[in-house]
Amino acid sequence: MNFPLPVADLGIDYGQFGNVFMFGNGKGGVGKTTLSANAAAKTARQGLPTLAIDMNGQGNMHRDLGYGEQDQGKAFAESMSQGSPLIPLTGVRENLDVVAGGPEVRKINGIVTEIARTEGFMAAYMRLAVCLAPLLPRYKAVFLDTPPENPDLLRLCLLAARYAVVPVKYDAASLDDGLKDFGQAFKMAVQVNRQLRILGVAHCFSPRGSTRIHREIESRSRKVLGKHAYVFPQAVGHSSTMAGLIRDRGRTAYELNEERVGGARTIPEAAEHLSNDYEILVKQIFQRAAELRQAA
C-alpha cells in the first residue's frame, strides 16, 4: 500500500499517542473485548482518566461494562465521516469514558473507501488518529478494542496506537491465521507509525495452570510474529459461568468478585481467580510498556 503524504500533513504528532493501547487479532472470540473492558475499568479504578473505544460492529463492550446499546455507534461513524473529534459517552465508571460501538460502526469501512478514493490512502487510514488526537490531552490511558476479520479497521487502529497487545486462545484460527493477519497489518502500519510496538501476546481462555498449552502458545506465536515475540507470563483462565455473569450484569470480573466478597452467593469462586488473572495481566501490560519506553 502506498502512503504518499507525510503524517505531519494530517496534523498528527505521534508523540501525543504514547498512552494508546490496542487489542488486536485477525480472528474473533479470543478475548479482545473482555480484556479491553477489564483493562480500562482497572486503569480507571486507579484514578487515571481512561477512554475505551469500541471498534466492533457487535458493540459487545456495552455488555461487559453495562452501559447499554446507546446509539449503536452512530456518533462514532459520523465523527469518522466528518473527520471531527470522537464523542465519548462519559461517566461509564468513575474516570472511565467510552466511545460506543455497534452496527453503525460497520459503515466505517465504506467511509474509509470513499476517503481513499477522494483524498488518498494516507488520509483514509489515518482518520481514526485524526479523530482521536483532540481527545488525548484528557486521558492518561486509551484502549482500542478492534474488530475481527476486518483489515481496514485493524489498520485504522494500528495507525492510532502506540502499543499493541495480541490476545490469543489455543486454537489454529487465532494462533496461525489470526496472528498472520495481524502481523501483516502491523508490518504495513509501522512504516507510517514508527513508534508502534507489539507489547506482547496475551494467552486467554485456557484451563488454569495449563503450562504445556502456554509453552505451545509461546512457540507458535514466535513462529508467526518472529523469534523475539514476547508472550505475557500471565494467562487468563476461563469460566463459562463467569463469562455469562459478566455480560448479563455488565460488571467486570473484579467488580463481580467484590460483590462475592461482600456476600453475593450467586457469584462463584471463579470470580476471584479470573479477577486476579486480569489484574496481573494488566499490570504486566503496563510494566512491559514502561520497559519498552526505557529501552527506546
How far CA 192 is from CA of 13, 80, 124, 126, 165, in Å, comes to 12, 20, 13, 10, 19
Question: What is the distance, to the nearest Å, from the Cα of residue 164 to the centroid of all Cα atoms in its chain?
Answer: 8
The cell 463481580 sits on which residue?
A: 256
The one-digit pLDDT tens for each residue of the chain (296 residues) are 444 445 666 778 999 999 999 999 988 889 899 999 999 999 999 999 999 999 999 888 999 999 998 999 999 999 999 999 999 999 999 999 999 999 999 999 999 999 999 999 999 999 999 999 999 999 999 999 998 889 999 999 999 999 999 999 998 888 888 999 999 999 999 999 999 999 999 999 887 778 899 999 999 999 999 888 999 999 999 899 999 999 999 999 999 999 999 999 999 999 999 999 999 999 999 999 999 999 87
Which residues, at least 6 apart from 34, have a Cβ–Cβ distance to it below 8 Å? Answer: 64, 204, 243, 246
Tell me the pTM.
Answer: 0.94
Strand, coil or helix: 132: helix
**Spatial CA neighbour of 131 closest among 85, 100, 87:** 85
Contact yes or no for 146/153 (Cβ under 8 A): yes
